């Protein structure tokens, strides 16, 4: 009987496919149709989507939805179909269409199971993930908080789903830069999942580790990653790849370059095996490996990785394209290809301005890189104008003693020195020196090198006493006590 059920489901799929082209099939389908047959067809469409066979799954979902509308299927069936259809569209990078289906699914769930049902919360969660992937963080947080509130209201029996909602909310807060709020959400999720022995605790440990790392707690982050890795070792897949990726970035941050490369290569290979070559996570893995190779002076190996990553992000329209375009521009800067770098940075600025706004830190970073590319081409007036705009945004957002402000002041000083405008350059250098000791160690070293370059210029115009004073400042920044 089971075999007959599958065959009947396959025949129903054939009828659905024909339905779009033959209205005469409607009466025959109505006479034959039963709910369980439609459920079999929906399950097979979902299976095709999970196998990433989108060209086959898409038309089936379309016809399933059309059948549900035409024959006035129960709202419960329609909602399930719309939710699964939205998931397939999102996985295929069709975000605008996916959003429509999810919104329709929310309305259908509300009519079928109520606005406060677990099913409604699930689709809100999916919609929040869509908004996260497209950088719409405020909207993502709104629907994820709605999902969390529904699940908290369903009582103790729903605690694991509460943990899932907290994990997803923390992910959005992390990506929006609200790290302490993200840590609090992840910590609540970890507590629930540990207490209930949930296998998904490794995922949340990894997320919490990434926040601890961003907050500067290297030891705490590494301990969380190691715990997550041990939990996932027996079932290698997408989640273990994410842990290895985070361990690799942590090792890069702490100077363990060879170990970082091993972990990042393992992560990329596992993501590719689990998800296929044309998935945004695979592209992110290539991007992270390329960043490491650039740091190690292996730009020739980094460039093809970045180009492949950009190609995937362009095809899927997933968030993250701007970062990869910007990274390729940085590589071109390292290779002194100013014109090529300029084109890439202009694109990165446009992408980030459209997605994040002109005042977002990521947009400012791309603007800063564009200013460097213009300076490399000796287009100092254009570079200075852009850097001054960046400086005004930094100051307006009360970031005067931030690393971002240190970067822009140092770059403005370089632009002045390149034009032999020593007094103007020294003013910018004095401004950054006022808080240089508060900057990260790597950036302090950069300011020290800038002092040395300025001292060299001063000696060139016979201002040896001033040069000695500036060299003293450089040496004080580079002293071991710092």
The model carries a pTM of: 0.68
Structure tokens at 453: 């370059």
Output the CA torsion 241→245→248→250 (10° steps).
Answer: -130
Residue 428 has pLDDT above 70, yes or no: yes
What is the Cα Rg of the chain in Å? 27
CATH 1.25.40.10 for domain 236-319, yes or no, is yes
Mean pLDDT within 426-447: 68
Choose the most confident range, by mean pLDDT, from 40-54, 163-177, 246-260.
Answer: 246-260
Please name the residue ranges forming H helices in 134-217: 137-152, 159-175, 179-195, 201-214
CA atoms of 369 and 351, how far apart (whole Å): 14
What local confidence, expressed as pLDDT, does residue 344 receive?
Answer: 96
Spatial CB neighbours of 138, under 8 Å, sequence gap ≥ 6: none
The confidence band for 414, taking pLDDT boundaries of 50, 70 and 90, is: confident
Reported as a single tens digit per residue, the pLDDT across 284-319 is 999 999 999 999 999 999 999 999 999 999 987 777
For residues 242 and 472, which has the higher predicted lDDT (pLDDT)? 242
CA atoms of 231 and 243, how far apart (whole Å): 11
The confidence band for 184, taking pLDDT boundaries of 50, 70 and 90, is: very high
Query: What separation, in Å, do the N-terminal and C-terminal C-alpha atoms of the chain show?
Result: 77
**Contacts of the segment 182-186: beta carbons below 8 A, 24+ positions apart:** 182/207, 182/211, 183/208, 183/211, 183/212, 183/215, 186/211
Reported as a single tens digit per residue, the pLDDT across 446-465 is 667 767 767 776 676 677 77
- The residue extents of the domains of the chain are 236-319
355 in Cβ contact with 136 (< 8 Å): no
- Mean pLDDT (the chain) is 81
């Amino acid at each position: 009987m089971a075999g007959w059920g599958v065959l009947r489901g396959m025949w129903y799929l054939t009828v659905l496919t024909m339905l779009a082209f033959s209205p005469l099939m409607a009466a025959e389908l109505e006479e034959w149709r039963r709910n369980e047959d439609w459920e079999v067809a929906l399950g097979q469409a979902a299976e095709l989507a999970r196998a990433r066979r989108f060209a086959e799954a898409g038309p089936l979902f379309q016809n399933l939805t059309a059948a549900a509308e035409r024959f006035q299927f129960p709202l419960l069936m329609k909602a399930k179909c719309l939710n699964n259809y939205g998931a397939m569209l999102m996985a295929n990078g069709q975000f605008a269409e996916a959003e429509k289906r999810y919104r329709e699914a929310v309305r259908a769930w509300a009519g079928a199971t109520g606005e406060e049902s677990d099913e409604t919360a699930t689709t809100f969660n999916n919609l929040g993930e869509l908004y996260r992937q497209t950088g719409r963080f405020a909207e993502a947080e709104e629907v994820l908080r709605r999902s969390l509130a529904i699940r908290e209201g369903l009582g103790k029996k729903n605690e694991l789903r509460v943990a899932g909602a907290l994990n997803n909310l923390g992910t959005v807060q992390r990506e929006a830069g609200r790290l302490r709020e993200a840590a609090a959400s992840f910590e609540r999720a970890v507590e629930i999942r540990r207490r209930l022995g949930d296998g998904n605790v490794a995922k949340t440990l990894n997320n919490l580790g990434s926040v601890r790392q961003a907050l500067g707690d290297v030891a705490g982050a590494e301990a969380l990653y190691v715990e997550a890795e041990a939990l996932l070792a027996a079932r290698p897949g997408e989640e273990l790849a994410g842990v290895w990726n985070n361990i690799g970035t942590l090792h890069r941050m702490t100077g363990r370059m060879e170990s970082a490369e091993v972990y990042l290569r393992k992560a990329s290979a596992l993501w590719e095996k689990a998800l296929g070559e044309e998935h945004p996570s695979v592209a992110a893995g290539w991007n992270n490996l390329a960043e490491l190779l650039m740091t190690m002076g292996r730009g020739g190996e980094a460039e093809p990785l970045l180009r492949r990553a950009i190609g995937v992000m362009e095809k899927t329209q997933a968030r993250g394209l701007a970062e990869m375009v910007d990274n390729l521009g940085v590589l071109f800067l390292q290779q002194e290809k100013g014109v090529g770098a300029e084109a890439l940075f202009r694109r990165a600025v446009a992408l980030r301005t459209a997605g994040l706004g002109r005042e977002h830190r990521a947009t400012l970073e791309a603007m800063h890189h564009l200013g460097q590319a213009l300076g490399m081409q000796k287009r100092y007036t254009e570079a200075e104008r852009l850097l001054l705009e960046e400086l005004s945004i930094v100051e307006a957002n009360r970031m005067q003693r931030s690393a971002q402000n240190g970067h822009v002041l140092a770059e403005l000083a370089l632009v002045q020195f390149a034009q032999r405008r020593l007094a103007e350059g020294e003013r910018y250098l004095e401004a950054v020196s006022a808080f240089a000791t508060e900057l990260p160690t790597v950036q302090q070293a950069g300011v020290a090198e800038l002092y040395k370059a300025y001292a060299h210029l001063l000696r060139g115009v016979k201002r040896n006493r001033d040069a000695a004073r500036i060299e003293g400042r450089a040496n004080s920044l580079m002293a071991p006590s710092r």
